[in-house]
A and B are shown apart, each in its own frame.
Chain A
Amino acid sequence: MQRLGREAWQKFVAAGPDLRRFALALTRDEGEADDLVQATYERALARLDQWRGDGEIAAWLFAIMQSIQRNEWRRRQRDNAARATLGALSIATVDGERVAAGQMTLSRVRRAIDTLPIEQRQALLAVVLDGLSYQAAADRLGLPLGTLTSRVARARQTVAAAASWSVEPEEARTPQKAGAIVVEGGGDD
């Protein structure tokens, strides 16, 4: 069974933001877009042996996403055939809430990143933004490899936790309270 090499895997992970933007364009809903990205990756991970390795892996991921979305749309078209005609007023309320909730998700991610302890943020940016290997990032920051590894993991944990808050329905209904939320960065290591 074929496995992804290191370079292909990096492209596999790095395709995420583009997949997400495409999912947003398809669904116009942040929550649905994140679900669609996740479903795409899930299917791809289960079928890594089906990637032929002779093209861009991002294109393969896009094809998987479209396949999933196409099937989802077919199901929804059946469900929504009547609603889609003149139901604009009832849809408006739902749509407004969804948009508000989606905005909060990204603003929380942003705030979580901004409030990370500087040591964690430096480690995360060195690896994710600059593409350094863990060893190179550790060398650059003057850290033992284990400390660097731990800081990157903790930074991701904090950001993921902050993003997940937005799925709580009571917060989705009161987006004006988002500004009051404080992300606790916690200690280091």
Chain B
Amino acid sequence: MTRGSVVALDPETRSRLLDGAMADAEFADWQARFAEEPALAAAMASALAEEARLRDVLAGDHAGQADDLGMPRRGWWRRSAVWVALAAGFAGLAIGFGGGAWLAVGSDSSAVAWTAGLQHALENQPSGGAVALADLPGPLGAVTLEIERTYRAADGRFCRAYRQSVASPAGVMASTGIACREADGTWRLFDTGAGGDA
């Protein structure tokens, strides 16, 4: 990965590029340079990744602020303004059952439904079965969980190896993990970091 690129776009140029706020000729010139100068493309990609995070938070936390400023709301990505409020609310929920960080969810209610569905499936779904956990809004699609096998860990806890898949406009991909049942009956998720094509 390319974090920390040594090539720096000056802040104002970077900001104008993110907003497309420049003349056509200058804009075209920058696009040509991105194709030809990998370090420059890396610097711009870093700015775009930061912008994604910024817009995530802005859309969730400042949904009412546009009205405060007397300005119209625009931009197709704002349609997801409510369900983009992922970290503050739902991350607490995610860490509540031990990580997993399944933040890419819908509204608060669908986050709760997803979490509840995940816990319910881990508790009740037989190995080998698949269950739909949620349908994500926007360009994303269904999330399904498949429990591959169940075993007892060395410390006595029951653990289940699972596979979770997520749909996007470009197809479906899956990731894998392990969930172990805590003493209080909740299932704690552990990322195995592995996955594969769905």
Which residues of A are in contact with B by a Cβ distance under 8 Å? 1, 3-4, 6, 9-11, 13-22, 24-30, 34-42, 45-49, 56, 58-59, 62-63, 65-66, 69-70, 73-74, 76-77, 80-81, 83-89, 91-92, 95-96, 98-100, 102-103, 105-107, 109-110, 113-114, 122, 124-134, 140, 149-150, 152-154, 156-157, 159-160, 163
A–B pairs, 26, beta carbons within 8 Å? A6-B27, A14-B77, A16-B55, A16-B56, A20-B56, A21-B103, A24-B101, A25-B140, A37-B49, A41-B49, A42-B2, A59-B139, A73-B194, A76-B193, A76-B195, A77-B196, A86-B153, A91-B192, A95-B190, A98-B99, A103-B87, A103-B92, A113-B57, A124-B58, A153-B11, A163-B50
Can you name 20 extra interface pairs (CB under 8 A) apart from A84-B178, A128-B54, A153-B12? A25-B143, A28-B175, A28-B177, A37-B49, A42-B44, A42-B45, A59-B139, A69-B173, A70-B196, A76-B193, A80-B192, A87-B192, A92-B188, A95-B99, A95-B190, A96-B98, A99-B91, A106-B87, A109-B57, A128-B19
> 9 closest A-B pairs (Cβ-Cβ)?
A16-B52, A42-B45, A106-B87, A63-B170, A153-B15, A25-B104, A38-B49, A21-B104, A41-B45
CA A129 to CA B51, docked complex, whole Å: 12
**Taking the nearest CB of chain B, how far is it from the CB of A158, in angstroms?**
10
Contact of A20 among B12, B52, B191, B194 (CB under 8 A): B52
CA A72 to CA B127, docked complex, whole Å: 27
Given contacts A17-B52, A38-B2, A56-B169, contact A9 B75 (CB under 8 A): no
Asked whether, in the complex, the Cβ of B104 is within 8 Å of the Cβ of A22, the reply is yes
**Taking the nearest CB of chain B, how far is it from the CB of A22, in angstroms?**
5
**Taking the nearest CB of chain A, how far is it from the CB of B176, in angstroms?**
7
Which residue on chain A has the smallest CB distance to residue B76?
A14
Asked whether, in the complex, the Cβ of B11 is within 8 Å of the Cβ of A154, the reply is yes
Contact of B58 among A3, A66, A129, A152 (CB under 8 A): A129
**Taking the nearest CB of chain B, how far is it from the CB of A143, in angstroms?**
13
CA A26 to CA B61, docked complex, whole Å: 24
Contacts of A26 in B (CB 8 A): 166, 173, 175, 195
Given contacts A16-B49, A24-B104, A77-B194, contact A159 B143 (CB under 8 A): no
Asked whether, in the complex, the Cβ of A125 is within 8 Å of the Cβ of B51, the reply is no
CA A100 to CA B96, docked complex, whole Å: 11
Asked whether, in the complex, the Cβ of B102 is within 8 Å of the Cβ of A130, the reply is no
Asked whether, in the complex, the Cβ of A58 is within 8 Å of the Cβ of B88, the reply is no
Asked whether, in the complex, the Cβ of B175 is within 8 Å of the Cβ of A106, the reply is no
Contact of B66 among A70, A105, A130 (CB under 8 A): A130
Asked whether, in the complex, the Cβ of A4 is within 8 Å of the Cβ of B31, the reply is yes
Asked whether, in the complex, the Cβ of A47 is within 8 Å of the Cβ of B35, the reply is yes
Which residue on chain A has the smallest CB distance to residue B77?
A14
Asked whether, in the complex, the Cβ of B168 is within 8 Å of the Cβ of A62, the reply is yes
Asked whether, in the complex, the Cβ of B69 is within 8 Å of the Cβ of A126, the reply is yes
**Taking the nearest CB of chain A, how far is it from the CB of B15, in angstroms?**
4
Which residue on chain B has the smallest CB distance to residue A4?
B31
Asked whether, in the complex, the Cβ of A18 is within 8 Å of the Cβ of B80, the reply is yes
Asked whether, in the complex, the Cβ of A126 is within 8 Å of the Cβ of B52, the reply is no
